[in-house]
């Protein structure tokens, strides 16, 4: 019975993530337009554009490599798998034993490498410049991510997502955890690709069309969804249905999860309005701030463990 419940929550989570990922980014744009007093298209129209593109055949270059041709599907699959590992409305899903922060970040890294390869294979100046921007940010993003994982793992005793959420519930006001959440919030601005951060890997530079463009757009939406779900789960772990909980706890978790995503979309829209768009040369400052916050959280945890 427990195994059946785990698979039911996993399948429901997968369906919701796939359905909500494009809608979430469209909801951010809707909030942005409404806050400016402009008319905005309904968020669900994002799926209409993707479905229209899925019906069209992609235009492929003769010299395009097999890796670049399969990159849209592989990158989308890797990002979807990362999204399936991050709990949304319930814990104890079928893939929960694999839900590890390092694995989630690795899958996102694989998707990023595939996108960079597709940009380079396009052979255009825009694609080369976009790939160069992505490589320029890597020396700042990777240490910040590793320090964040280290800080969260020191607080929970594991890099698993479920133990981290349990540790956050036990010590919700601990200063190191608050610093880790602040560092994650800065990384979310980078990972979602939304302003005020510069988009290092824009879809427009991929020279894709038809189904390939639809898969790249879905991959971008899933990537943003993964980052936001990580922030929502770690910053607000309360309300997530516990392992082995029944349908009533799932319904409550679904309602709270939906409310958290709506709040997160509004906060992203406000960030676009209140924070000036950063140039590529200013983006390392944000990543450096995340690195500093994560390092400070790890140092405080290390001192606390030594005094205990």
C-alpha to C-alpha distance for 145 and 291, rounded to whole angstroms: 8
CA distances from 49 to 217, 270, 304 (A): 10, 25, 52
Task: For residue 286, give the nearest of 175, 195, 224, 178 by alpha carbon.
Answer: 195
Nearest Cα neighbor of 262 from 298, 291, 236, 286 is: 236
pLDDT of residue 308: 58
User: Using alpha carbons only, what angle is made at residue 287 by residues 46 and 87, rounded to the nearest 5 degrees?
Assistant: 50
Is residue 121 within 8 Å of 65, Cβ to Cβ? yes
Query: HSE (CB half, 13 Å, CA atoms) of 96?
Result: 24
Structure confidence at residue 7 (pLDDT): 86
What's the pLDDT score for residue 171?
64
* Enclosing domain of residue 114: 2-307
- The pTM of the whole model exceeds 0.85: yes
Show the tokens assigned to 158: 């594991």
Q: For the chain, how many structural domains are there in total?
A: 1
* pLDDT in the model for residue 95: 87
Mean pLDDT by 10 residues, the chain (308 residues): 79 92 89 82 84 81 74 91 90 86 90 83 71 75 85 83 81 74 83 64 68 86 90 85 80 90 89 72 78 85 71
Greatest extent of the chain over all pairs of C-alpha atoms, in Å: 64
Question: Do 147 and 175 contact (CB within 8 A), yes or no?
Answer: no
Comparing C-alpha atoms, which of 176, 200, 180 is closest to residue 190?
200
Please give the span between the terminal C-alpha atoms of the chain, in angstroms, as a whole number.
41
Would you say the C-alpha torsion 68, 191, 217, 102 has a positive or negative sign?
positive
Q: Give the rounded distance of the alpha carbon of 136 from its chain centre.
A: 20
**pLDDT for 135:** 74
């Amino acid at each position: 019975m427990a195994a059946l419940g785990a698979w039911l929550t996993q399948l429901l989570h997968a369906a919701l993530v796939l359905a909500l990922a494009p809608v979430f980014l469209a909801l951010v744009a809707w909030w942005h337009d409404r806050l400016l007093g402009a008319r905005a298209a309904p968020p669900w129209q994002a799926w209409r554009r993707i479905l229209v593109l899925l019906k069209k055949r992609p235009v492929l270059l003769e010299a395009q490599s097999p890796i670049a041709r399969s990159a849209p599907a592989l990158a989308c699959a890797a990002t979807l798998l990362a999204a399936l590992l991050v709990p949304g409305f319930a814990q104890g899903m079928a893939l929960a034993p694999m839900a590890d922060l390092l694995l989630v970040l690795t899958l996102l890294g694989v998707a990023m490498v595939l996108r960079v390869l597709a940009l380079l294979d396009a052979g255009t100046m825009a694609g080369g410049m976009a790939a160069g921007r992505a490589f320029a940010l890597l020396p700042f993003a990777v240490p910040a991510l590793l320090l964040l994982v280290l800080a969260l793992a020191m607080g929970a005793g594991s890099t698993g997502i479920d133990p981290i959420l349990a540790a956050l519930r036990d010590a919700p006001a601990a200063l190191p955890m608050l610093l880790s959440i602040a560092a994650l919030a800065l990384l979310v601005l980078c990972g979602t690709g939304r302003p005020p951060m510069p988009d290092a890997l824009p879809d427009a530079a991929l020279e894709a069309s038809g189904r390939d463009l639809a898969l790249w757009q879905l991959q971008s939406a899933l990537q943003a969804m993964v980052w936001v779900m990580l922030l929502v789960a770690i910053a607000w772990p309360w309300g997530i249905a516990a392992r082995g909980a029944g349908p009533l706890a799932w319904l409550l978790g679904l309602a709270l999860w939906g409310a958290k995503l709506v709040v997160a979309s509004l906060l992203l829209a406000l960030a676009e309005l209140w924070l000036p768009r950063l140039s590529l040369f200013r983006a390392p400052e944000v990543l450096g701030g995340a690195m500093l916050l994560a390092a400070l959280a790890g140092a405080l945890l290390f001192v606390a463990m030594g005094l205990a």
